[in-house]
Amino acid sequence: MTGDWLKLMWDLMFHGPVGNNPIADFLSLLALIPFLVVLALWLGEMVVELVLWPFVVAGRAVQLLWAG
């Protein structure tokens, strides 16, 4: 769902009306702020999952081995 939202925001920002309409330009610039925030959080979540998940799995395996 996040990926779809990011695609829609990207489409809104860079394919909207631009040119001699300063309000549309300003609104497309404002749309960039939540896009960048969500993109940073989404990428951070992916990094955490990819980096930390093997340690979680290994920790559970060690816990099962110690529990006998």
Q: Specify the DSSP class assigned to residue 68.
A: -
Tell me the pLDDT tens digit for each residue of 3-47. Answer: 777 777 777 666 655 566 777 777 777 878 888 898 899 999 999
Nearest to 36 by CA among 48, 44, 46: 44
What is the extent of the structural domain holding 61? 2-67
Q: Specify the DSSP class assigned to residue 1.
A: -
The residue ranking higher by pLDDT, 25 or 60, is 60
Q: Which tokens hold the place of 35?
A: 């896009």
**What is the predicted pLDDT for the residue at 63?**
94
How many domains is the chain partitioned into structurally?
Answer: 1
Global confidence as pTM:
0.51
What is the DSSP code string of 6-67? HHHHHHHHHSS--SS-HHHHHHHHHHHHHHHHHHHHHHHHHHHHHHHHHHHHHHHHHHHHHH
